[in-house]
Structures are given as structure tokens and as C-alpha cells.
Chains A and B, each alone.
Chain A
């Protein structure tokens, strides 16, 4: 539980952090809330020679709203997000999700940027990012670019981010009339990570589901969408039978994990159960 030696830099700006990343290459790691990185360091599963602390970079802080979208600083903690008025009003599912992450200490330290960059297979936020079609905005040596959530999560602990890029903000839509979203989670009693987590987004147009997006985390090696279940719901009224049918279609395309906490078989079954629960709540909310 004692990390290997490392050099420590406290960056003051995003550019400084990028410069340090370029300078130290693969030896360096960004440090945000530390709640994924430090456990790995303590178990010596990761032994970076250089840590670049970005938790004091003020550009990465803050949550703003422009009426259509919420722009969340990568350095915003779960606590800040869960208690932010604009988030609670405009995108309550986000508050619902981060409010269920870990325990109080984790929520006070962990950041949205760290969670999305780390892409833990059991992390909660990737499911919500997928279901809401979030955008991950990053800065690198060649300037800024945006990554759609659908393109972000590549494989276990692997994202579309390159090693010299820093996530600066994450953009979420503000949900309007007829839109609803929910996050349902089966959590591990020790770590409280998701054994299975399902985020669902539903849009109703005149009583008919016109759009649906589902993100699943925890079950497999990486968070994924559920196209078959989504299209099963689109065009229906979103009643219980339609939701049951859609939930039943969920579970494809997941590279299921099996371990002592849950077998692949159980995770597969729970994807359907939690898809039903998330969709039911999302439709209820969409109906207003």
C-alpha cells in the first residue's frame, strides 16, 4: 500500500499540464481526484515516474449553462455536480448518477474528467454520457477537439483520448419537455461501483417515443450503447409492454465480465432487469 517513488508537479494551467505531458511522455500521468490513480499506485499496479496534479487548475473548474447545454469542467467533483442547481434542474439524471458514486469521500474528491478518462469498466458516468450523447472536450498540443461519447470508450480502461491530451470540459444537453432520463444501478457492496448500471434517455413526441438511447456499464469490459433495445422502444407508446420488450432486447454487444462479484450470466440477466427499470423511470419522467 506504499507507492513507488514519483516526481510531483502541480500544474497551474492546462497548457502547463500539456507541456509537462509532452516532456515526460509515457512516464507521466495526470492526477485529478486521485481516486482511481492512487489506489493503483498504492498497490503498485501503476508506477508512473511523474505525476502532474491538475486539481488546482482553475480553468478546469466550474459548471455553466447556456440554456441548451451544460458545460461541466473536467475538474468538477461529483459533490459539486450533484449539488449544482443548473444540473439538478436541467439534467437531473447526471446528479442522480454521481450521487450514487462511491461514498462521501469519493464524491468529494473524484472528478468527472478523471472518471471519463479512466474508463473503468464499472464506472457509472460512462453510461450516462452515452445515454445523453455527451461531448468530451479536450485540449492537446495541437489545440482543442471534441469527442462524442459514442466514440470515447474504446476498450477496458482505454479511451479515444491520446496520452498528451487533457479533458477540459464535458457537455451535456439540458433536457426539455417530453424528454426524460434515468440511471439504475446494482452496486457492489464493498466498492460501490456498478455491477450493472443502465442509463436510459427517452424522448416522447405526442405520446410516441421518438428517440431512445441506452448506455450500459459494469456488465462488460467497456460501457456500450444498446441499439437493439433502443430501436425496439422507438415508435411505441413507451407502455409497460413496450418497455418489457425493449428490455428483453437489451444485453447484446456486451463483452461480459465474470468474477467473484458477479458471473457473466448474472450480469447479462441484470442488464435486462436494470434496462427495464431505467426505461420505466425515464418514460415516467418524460411524461412529466
Chain B
């Protein structure tokens, strides 16, 4: 961007993403683009059974196949520990079962890795997999989380009776029981939040190289958290010094949470590279991504919501069976607990609430964070039930929401479920704005007219709040939440001798545009040209430790670390300028990249001049270190709590059950906005995924544990033609938690949208007497819901 076209203040401007020219012209470097000299290719043989004992494995034919370099089984890798899990999250006791790098003795889901072939190319490796002979003894299978806890259900792990990972609770049970017993109205439902497959456009994979001379590994991997992977692979899986591994995330083609976690290919490529003395590459194909990499959601919930006929909600009681799959993934127990149970009351002041969560093992792929991670499940539940309650008492759903919102003057607000207080909010303002954009009153008239003509229109409101920038470490770490990890973030800012600014961050993007937004912040705060700021990331060599990118935390936590480092640079620059100008440091003003004595802006030193002085360093204040170089490890005092209201309008064809999503309005409040185009992009993508959960997506296992939605021909991810234009707008309620007043926007769209669509579908179907139906509202499900309601009325 040239100086002429550059607005003076960059924060708040829709600046085009600096990442995009490279990415959209095909010049990015994704994992599969990387080719190393002598590189070999890995293919995994996976169990076709969802539960079985491995009686024997014969790899001799595969080993003899031309082009095969080596074949390994789980028995060969017993020197590796199982993959780690932040197991104390959710207060899991002594029944942790995490996957081994390759299965040993028993497999627990279809797709569990059994053997590894390393070959000269990927085709040979795949062919040789077919030559491995494995004898299995099939065992009984359970895929449903509730059924898995019932007596007589097949058992996955000896240390987890009834397949229960944990029983976790929050809130006040006695109070909730009493509120429900005393209520004028109680609405009850079983609500299923179906299993989803995150489906990043790029599948996952790893490439490892080992240097025998130094004993050092380099691992390129599709990760949202390279520093954490370095830590857990060395300290937990390999038991080698952390310094022996460098982890690099190249361009990453979307993650949606699936790429946060530690996966077996990271370990087996490293292990095999060391063993065979050549680099090893593994890239999942789509089928493997669907079978093996983590899934999301999968809750079965019994919920009761109590209230008065005047619309006041008085109580909420929730029991959830959260399917965590065959083993625990890296942070699996934290999702249905901290990020779900603790925000189950949403945007409402509910005086008595209680939630119980059972985490459950089943013979399915592991379940962990998927965009929104717990909050979509929570928001779906409460927003569906508020509509259900409104319908029951014959009150307008917008009115019920208004009546029960946490009011703006109640912040900071403690919801009584063990979260830190909600930081700030103005829920009614966002609702009102969304209702105004959609033309709520007019719509209700149109709806009535349409019904007379046999057309079924519906409107659905979703007022959400979520948890972003999850922190502080002293809460999420020990002892209460027990994630066993801090969640601070880091940034180093250096102003080089030429005045150019180099920022290294422990955070990283995988499509979000962090290079752009961070540069906007730095350019504004330092008063330097945007193009003079470079953001370096994604390589453990050269960036400070950071926890990674997820939970909509990159800006609120990582961005604040950058902001703070810049503030420190400015302080030091003032001292140097004072020395240069022979003035008192306390009298210095930093403005637009220049430092001057208060009242004399004409006699200023530019940042470049100061940086030069700091670098050549022969004339600095007594005792001052050379160079402008500052690092921050930022641990925020609280999470942030973005909110908003989304509204969907649908028309349902009662003959076929087809749902036509006609309009979608989103009013989001993510605090102050650094780049509105990027926020809109995040919201758009998020809505697409939430709409898809409502209308299209579901991962289905049959009773034998076979994933029958195992390809993109069966599993319906949203395409542009399936979505209406989104009408987005914002309210701005700055967060008091961090100096920039930002909250986070990466997941809000997904968190808000499924229930907006489902509430609209059910509103459309209300003339038939439909009160609730499960997602996805596929044509057949809608058609059946209409017929079931007609039959029972």
C-alpha cells in the first residue's frame, strides 16, 4: 500500500489482508508443498473394526514389496508414551486413556492406526498397506454416549467402568430443583447436538527430519499451536529435551480447532525419521481426516427450563452426555465442562441453574474442540429452550429475551456457574438492532398472510454470549479448572537500526489474517508505515513461546501482548530521545512516530533516528542497554465475552420438507474492531458452519461403529450456493479486560447461528404443532416432524 492511499489511523479500517496475494495466487507453502531431499512417504494401515483385539500382524509381504523402506507396528514404538491430554480439565480422575501412536493389542474405533508403512512414494506406501495381514477378534461396539453408560454396554477401557470419563457439575442443584418444583411452567426436551466433522480445506499432516549429528528433529506440521506441540512431543511423548525439536507450522489451510491437538503422525514421522535416517512425510487423505482426526459436538442433553407465565425464567436444569470418542484427545474434557457447562445460562439472568455433564468413551473418533467448542452447544441449548418456553406461554420470543437479559448495569456479571464474571455487555441493544434490520413487526404480518395462503414462513432469534480469549492462567490452570496449562500469550517487538519493525509472536494465523491486524496495531501505535512492520510467527525457532491460536484468542491475548511490547518500546524511545534532546524523560511526548518535549513538537526525534541511536549505542543514557527490543508475556485478568443477536428467516415447503433460508441477519459485538473486513469474514465463515449444522451436516456411525458419512459425497459441508447473502452489522461494547477493548470474533458466527435457523424452522412449523425437532433439519427430518406432529394432534 502506498503512503498516499494509506489512512492515517489503520485500526478500524478494512485493510486488505497482506497474506492474500501469496495465498490466492497459489504461492503459499502448505505442508504437502514441502519436499525435502531423500524424503520418504508414510501410509497408515487402520483398523476396519470399531472394537477388536489384535491377535497378530504379519508385515512380511509388505516389507518385501519393492519400494518399501520399512514397516512398523505399535510393538515397535513402545518407547513412545501415549499422546498427552490435559486430563485434569473436567476433573477427570484416574481413568485417562489417550491414544498410542500406533495401537497395541486392541483397537477402539474404526480408523485406529495399526501399522505404518514407509516407502519411496505415497502410492507404494498405500499399496503395501494392503499386503499387511492382521488377524482381529471383533468385540462388541457402542457408539451412542448415553447407551454407553447403561448397564451391559460394551466396555472400552478397564479403568473406566460404564465408559464414564468424568461426572462434572456446576451451579446449585438444590436451588434448581426447588425452582423447577415451584415453577408455573416447566418445558422439557431432549436436545441432541449432533456430531460434526470440522473439515478444514487442507487435511492434517507432518513431515519430520532428524539430524543424527546433533540429535535434533525438525517437524513441519499443520498445527494451530507449534510451541505446545514441541513441548508435549518432547516432554511427554519422547522424553527428550525440548531443545532437540523445532516445530514449524507452514501455511495452514484452516483448522477450526481440529489442528490444535497432538496427533500420532507428529510422533511417528519423528520416530521413523530417526529410525530410517531419512525425512518422512505423512499427509492424511480426506477419508483419513474424517475417520481419525477429531470431531466436534456430539451431546445428548435432557433439559428443563422453568418460568412464570409473565415470561420470567426462574430455573434451568441440564444433564448432558458428551461423547468424547474412543480416547481422550488433547483438551477433550475441557470442552463440555469449562466451555459449555459454565455458560449454559447464556445471556439471561437465571437465578437457579444446575448442569451435570457425563463425559463418555465410545467406539468412535475422538471428539475435541471444533469452532466454538462447547459454546455453540450451550447457546443452542438455551436459545432453543427460550423459544420453546415462549411458545408454551404464548409470548413473543423477542419479549421473553428482553425480559430476562442480564441488564447493561449488571456487569461485571457472575452467572453462578464458576466462570469469571462476564466483562461487559448490552444485549438488548444488539437484539433491537437485529430486529430493526430484519423488520420484525412487518415480518410477523407477512408470516400471517403467507400462512393463509398455505406458505410457511418462520423467524428465529438467537441472542448469544460466548467466552473468548480464555484465560487467566491462574483460573484455567490450577486448581479449579485444571487444564494443566497457562493460557498467556507472548510477543517480541524490535525496531531495527533502519527503523523497520520486526514483531515475533507466539500466536499464529491459519487463515485469519493475523499478520494484517497485528501490523495495523503496531503501525498505529508506533506511528510507522504499515509496510515497515513485519510479523513473524509459526516457527518455534525465532518466536517466543506461545499457546497458539484457538478460542478466538489471537487478538485479545496475542494482540494485547504485541500492544504491550509496543508500549514498552515507546517508553524506552522516550528516554533515548530525552537524552538526545537533553531533556527530562518525564517531559517527553510520543506522537505519530516522533518524540518531542511537551510544547515543542518542532524539535522532534523520529523513531528511526532513535532506533539508530539505540543500535549504534555509543551515546545512550547511563546504564541503558542498546537496541529497541521488548518482550511481553501477557496473561489477561479475565476472558472476554462477545455477544450479539442473529436472526434467520426461512420458508418451509411442507410437501417436501425443504427449508429455504431466505434471510440471515447478524449483529455481533466483539468489542472494538481492528479490521472490519476481517471480522465480517470471520462472521461469514462462522455462520456458514452453524447454518450447515442446522440444515446439512451430521457425522453418522452405524451400530458397528462404521462412519457412514465418511466422504464428502455423504457429509454435506456448506457451499456458497446453499447460503443467502448475510446481512451483518455490529454494536460496539469495548471490553474492559484489555487495553484495546477487543473481545474476539473467530467463533461467534458458529456459536450464534444453528439455533437462529432451527428456531426459524420450528416457528415456521408451529401451525402444524411442531414444538421441537433435532438438527439437522434435512428435508426428510422436517417432513417427518410435520407428520409426527399432525399424527399426535
Q: How far is the CA of A195 from the CA of B783 in the complex (A)?
A: 14
Contact B287 A189 (CB under 8 A): no
Q: How far is the CB of A45 from chain B (nearest CB, A)?
A: 11
Known: A1-B285, A266-B783. A43 touches B711 (CB 8 A): yes
Q: How far is the CA of A261 from the CA of B714 in the complex (A)?
A: 8
Q: How far is the CB of A4 from chain B (nearest CB, A)?
A: 7
Contact B713 A191 (CB under 8 A): yes
Tell me, yes or no, whether A188 is within 8 Å of chain B by CB: yes
Tell me, yes or no, whether B39 is within 8 Å of chain A by CB: no
Contact B287 A273 (CB under 8 A): no
Tell me, yes or no, whether B123 is within 8 Å of chain A by CB: yes
Contact B656 A273 (CB under 8 A): yes
Proximity string of chain B (701-725) to chain A, C-beta cutoff 8 Å, 1 when within and 0 when not:
0000000110111111101001000
Tell me, yes or no, whether B502 is within 8 Å of chain A by CB: no
Tell me, yes or no, whether A269 is within 8 Å of chain B by CB: yes
Contact B716 A189 (CB under 8 A): yes
Proximity string of chain A (84-105) to chain B, C-beta cutoff 8 Å, 1 when within and 0 when not:
0000000000000000000100
Interface set, chain B 15-56, CB cutoff 8 A to A = 43
Proximity string of chain B (448-476) to chain A, C-beta cutoff 8 Å, 1 when within and 0 when not:
00000000000000000000000000000
Tell me, yes or no, whether B405 is within 8 Å of chain A by CB: no
Chain A interface size range: 20 to 34
In the complex, residue of chain A having the shortest beta-carbon distance to the beta carbon of B712: A190
- Tell which of A189, A195, A260, A273 touches B696, judged by Cβ atoms closer than 8 Å: A189
Q: How far is the CA of A4 from the CA of B124 in the complex (A)?
A: 9
Q: How far is the CA of A195 from the CA of B700 in the complex (A)?
A: 18
Interchain Cβ contacts under 8 Å between A and B, 11 examples: A2-B285, A39-B713, A44-B130, A189-B695, A189-B722, A190-B715, A191-B714, A262-B779, A266-B779, A269-B783, A273-B655
In the complex, residue of chain B having the shortest beta-carbon distance to the beta carbon of A274: B656
Tell me, yes or no, whether B286 is within 8 Å of chain A by CB: yes
Q: How far is the CA of A195 from the CA of B713 in the complex (A)?
A: 13
Q: How far is the CB of B287 from chain A (nearest CB, A)?
A: 6
> For A43, what are the chain B residues with a Cβ–Cβ distance below 8 Å?
287, 711
Number of B positions contacting A (CB below 8 A): 31
The CB with the most chain B CB atoms within 10 A, among A4, A39, A190, A269, is that of: A190
Q: How far is the CB of B614 from chain A (nearest CB, A)?
A: 55
Known: A2-B123, A266-B784. A190 touches B287 (CB 8 A): no
Interface set, chain A 1-50, CB cutoff 8 A to B = 1-2, 4-5, 39, 43-44
Known: A1-B286, A2-B285. A260 touches B711 (CB 8 A): no
Interface set, chain B 708-756, CB cutoff 8 A to A = 708-709, 711-717, 719, 722
Interface set, chain A 183-206, CB cutoff 8 A to B = 186, 188-191, 193, 195
In the complex, residue of chain B having the shortest beta-carbon distance to the beta carbon of A39: B713
Inter-chain pairs besides A1-B285, A190-B696, A266-B783, 9 sampled, C-beta below 8 Å: A2-B122, A4-B130, A43-B711, A189-B722, A190-B713, A191-B714, A263-B780, A266-B780, A266-B784
- Tell which of B122, B130, B286, B779 touches A186, judged by Cβ atoms closer than 8 Å: B779
In the complex, residue of chain A having the shortest beta-carbon distance to the beta carbon of B711: A43
Closest 10 CB pairs of A and B: A1-B285, A190-B716, A189-B716, A191-B713, A2-B126, A266-B780, A273-B655, A189-B696, A260-B700, A262-B780
Q: How far is the CA of A2 from the CA of B119 in the complex (A)?
A: 14
> For A39, what are the chain B residues with a Cβ–Cβ distance below 8 Å?
711, 713
> For B524, what are the chain A residues with a Cβ–Cβ distance below 8 Å?
none
Q: How far is the CA of A186 from the CA of B780 in the complex (A)?
A: 11
In the complex, residue of chain B having the shortest beta-carbon distance to the beta carbon of A4: B127
Tell me, yes or no, whether A270 is within 8 Å of chain B by CB: yes
Known: A4-B127, A5-B127, A189-B696. A260 touches B656 (CB 8 A): no
Q: How far is the CA of A4 from the CA of B126 in the complex (A)?
A: 8
Q: How far is the CA of A189 from the CA of B691 in the complex (A)?
A: 13
Q: How far is the CA of A131 from the CA of B286 in the complex (A)?
A: 38
> For B656, what are the chain A residues with a Cβ–Cβ distance below 8 Å?
186, 270, 273
Q: Report which B residues bind A (CB closer than 8 A).
A: 43, 122-123, 126-127, 130, 285-287, 655-656, 658, 695-696, 700, 708-709, 711-717, 719, 722, 778-780, 783-784
In the complex, residue of chain B having the shortest beta-carbon distance to the beta carbon of A47: B130
Contact B127 A260 (CB under 8 A): no
> For A195, what are the chain B residues with a Cβ–Cβ distance below 8 Å?
779
> For B713, what are the chain A residues with a Cβ–Cβ distance below 8 Å?
39, 190-191, 193
Contact B123 A1 (CB under 8 A): no
> For A103, what are the chain B residues with a Cβ–Cβ distance below 8 Å?
719
> For B778, what are the chain A residues with a Cβ–Cβ distance below 8 Å?
189
In the complex, residue of chain A having the shortest beta-carbon distance to the beta carbon of B657: A266
Q: How far is the CA of A1 from the CA of B287 in the complex (A)?
A: 7
> For A266, what are the chain B residues with a Cβ–Cβ distance below 8 Å?
779-780, 783-784
Proximity string of chain A (265-287) to chain B, C-beta cutoff 8 Å, 1 when within and 0 when not:
01001100100000000000000
Contact residues of B: prevailing secondary structure:
loop
Interface set, chain A 173-223, CB cutoff 8 A to B = 186, 188-191, 193, 195
> For B126, what are the chain A residues with a Cβ–Cβ distance below 8 Å?
2
In the complex, residue of chain B having the shortest beta-carbon distance to the beta carbon of A103: B719
Proximity string of chain A (233-272) to chain B, C-beta cutoff 8 Å, 1 when within and 0 when not:
0000000000000000000000000001111001001100
Q: How far is the CA of A49 from the CA of B714 in the complex (A)?
A: 28
Q: How far is the CA of A263 from the CA of B781 in the complex (A)?
A: 10
Q: How far is the CA of A188 from the CA of B714 in the complex (A)?
A: 8
Contact B784 A260 (CB under 8 A): no
> For B783, what are the chain A residues with a Cβ–Cβ distance below 8 Å?
266, 269
Q: How far is the CA of A39 from the CA of B784 in the complex (A)?
A: 32
Q: How far is the CB of A6 from chain B (nearest CB, A)?
A: 11
Q: How far is the CA of A260 from the CA of B287 in the complex (A)?
A: 18
> For B695, what are the chain A residues with a Cβ–Cβ distance below 8 Å?
189
Q: How far is the CB of A35 from chain B (nearest CB, A)?
A: 11
The CB with the most chain A CB atoms within 10 A, among B286, B695, B717, B783, is that of: B783
> For A44, what are the chain B residues with a Cβ–Cβ distance below 8 Å?
130
> For A191, what are the chain B residues with a Cβ–Cβ distance below 8 Å?
713-714
Q: How far is the CB of B454 from chain A (nearest CB, A)?
A: 14
> For A4, what are the chain B residues with a Cβ–Cβ distance below 8 Å?
127, 130
Contact B285 A190 (CB under 8 A): no
Q: How far is the CA of A195 from the CA of B287 in the complex (A)?
A: 23
Q: How far is the CA of A193 from the CA of B711 in the complex (A)?
A: 14
Q: How far is the CA of A191 from the CA of B717 in the complex (A)?
A: 10
Contact A190 B127 (CB under 8 A): no
Known: A188-B716, A189-B696, A269-B783. A260 touches B709 (CB 8 A): yes
Known: A2-B126, A4-B127, A269-B783. A260 touches B708 (CB 8 A): yes
Contact B714 A260 (CB under 8 A): yes
Q: How far is the CB of B162 from chain A (nearest CB, A)?
A: 28
Q: How far is the CB of A263 from chain B (nearest CB, A)?
A: 7
> For A260, what are the chain B residues with a Cβ–Cβ distance below 8 Å?
700, 708-709, 714
> For A186, what are the chain B residues with a Cβ–Cβ distance below 8 Å?
656, 658, 779
In the complex, residue of chain B having the shortest beta-carbon distance to the beta carbon of A191: B713
> For B655, what are the chain A residues with a Cβ–Cβ distance below 8 Å?
273
> For B722, what are the chain A residues with a Cβ–Cβ distance below 8 Å?
189
Q: How far is the CB of B757 from chain A (nearest CB, A)?
A: 14
> For B123, what are the chain A residues with a Cβ–Cβ distance below 8 Å?
2, 5
Q: How far is the CA of A189 from the CA of B716 in the complex (A)?
A: 6
Q: How far is the CB of A34 from chain B (nearest CB, A)?
A: 15
Q: How far is the CA of A273 from the CA of B655 in the complex (A)?
A: 7
> For B712, what are the chain A residues with a Cβ–Cβ distance below 8 Å?
190
The CB with the most chain B CB atoms within 10 A, among A39, A193, A269, is that of: A269
Q: How far is the CB of A243 from chain B (nearest CB, A)?
A: 14
Q: How far is the CB of A102 from chain B (nearest CB, A)?
A: 10
Q: How far is the CA of A44 from the CA of B711 in the complex (A)?
A: 13
Q: How far is the CA of A195 from the CA of B658 in the complex (A)?
A: 13
Q: How far is the CA of A16 from the CA of B329 in the complex (A)?
A: 55
Q: How far is the CA of A263 from the CA of B778 in the complex (A)?
A: 12
Q: How far is the CB of A83 from chain B (nearest CB, A)?
A: 19
Q: How far is the CB of B116 from chain A (nearest CB, A)?
A: 16
> For B285, what are the chain A residues with a Cβ–Cβ distance below 8 Å?
1-2
> For B779, what are the chain A residues with a Cβ–Cβ distance below 8 Å?
186, 195, 262, 266
> For A5, what are the chain B residues with a Cβ–Cβ distance below 8 Å?
123, 127
Q: How far is the CB of A104 from chain B (nearest CB, A)?
A: 10
